[in-house]
Chain A
Amino acid sequence: GAVVSQHPSRVICKSGTSVKIECRSLDFQATTMFWYRQFPKQSLMLMATSNEGSKATYEQGVEKDKFLINHASLTLSTLTVTSAHPEDSSFYICSASTSWNEQFFGPGTRLTVL
């Protein structure tokens, strides 16, 4: 299957700082990437859909000014959690969609905000 990487895998930050998470499709070009959030023992919650060269589409209830998404190229999307607070601590996972509409997921980023 197609490979998607995420960086960093873990990040610990102080409250009020911003954190950037990168998502890369390593062996294919992805017009569309997705960002999810997952709480312990729960399903994946879609936060936003990221399209290369255009603004992201956010799901209802997700603050676009807090979770900034940039999809600068066909292989890279970034999620920036601005002014992070302890309630933003979670497992953030990206996925990238292939030309045949299959989604492949990254390994996830564990964010802990102190």
Chain B
Amino acid sequence: QQQVKQSPQSLIVQKGGISIINCAYENTAFDYFPWYQQFPGKGPALLIAIRPDVSEKKEGRFTISFNKSAKQFSLHIMDSQPGDSATYFCAAAPFGNEKLTFGTGTRLTIIP
């Protein structure tokens, strides 16, 4: 019940396209859903996060869509650029608990 399932494992998108990564969870106690971006040899960087009181959050080219009833959330990267090529992790944490459960990661490659 603690798992966060992430898909796809890898994704290739053309420059300018939309990259979409999906995550699903079972634990209804989760109420904080961040996305992290990680480049090779570096630590993860917080991209954007959402709480269940909203269904969507947008920051620049990055948007989180959240479906509470389906227990799913996704990351959309608009106008994808080669610099977006990285591994993306979704995560979740319960209310009042900072301990994150991570998805398995998606390796995103943006091709010219």
Contact = CB atoms under 8 A, between A and B. Distances in A.
24 contacts: A1-B45, A32-B98, A34-B98, A34-B100, A41-B105, A41-B107, A43-B89, A43-B102, A43-B103, A44-B102, A46-B99, A49-B99, A91-B41, A93-B43, A101-B32, A103-B46, A103-B98, A103-B100, A104-B46, A105-B45, A105-B46, A107-B42, A108-B41, A108-B42
Instruction: Label chain A's interface by main secondary structure.
Output: strand
A77 interface: no
Interface in A64-114: 91, 93, 95, 97, 101-108, 110
A14 B18 CA distance: 47
B30 to A, nearest CB: 13
Contacts of A54: none
Interface size class of A (residues with CB under 8 A): 20 to 34
B78 interface: no
Contacts of A103: 34, 46, 98, 100
A81 to B, nearest CB: 18
Contact of A97 (B36, B98, B102, B104): B98
A108 B43 contact: yes
A49 to B, nearest CB: 6
B17 to A, nearest CB: 24
Contact of B41 (A4, A44, A105, A110): A110
Contacts of B99: 34, 46, 49
Contact of B49 (A4, A6, A49, A102): A102
Contacts of A49: 99
A62 to B, nearest CB: 14
A4 B43 CA distance: 10
Contacts of A42: 104-105
Given A1-B46, A44-B89, A46-B99, A105 B105 contact: no
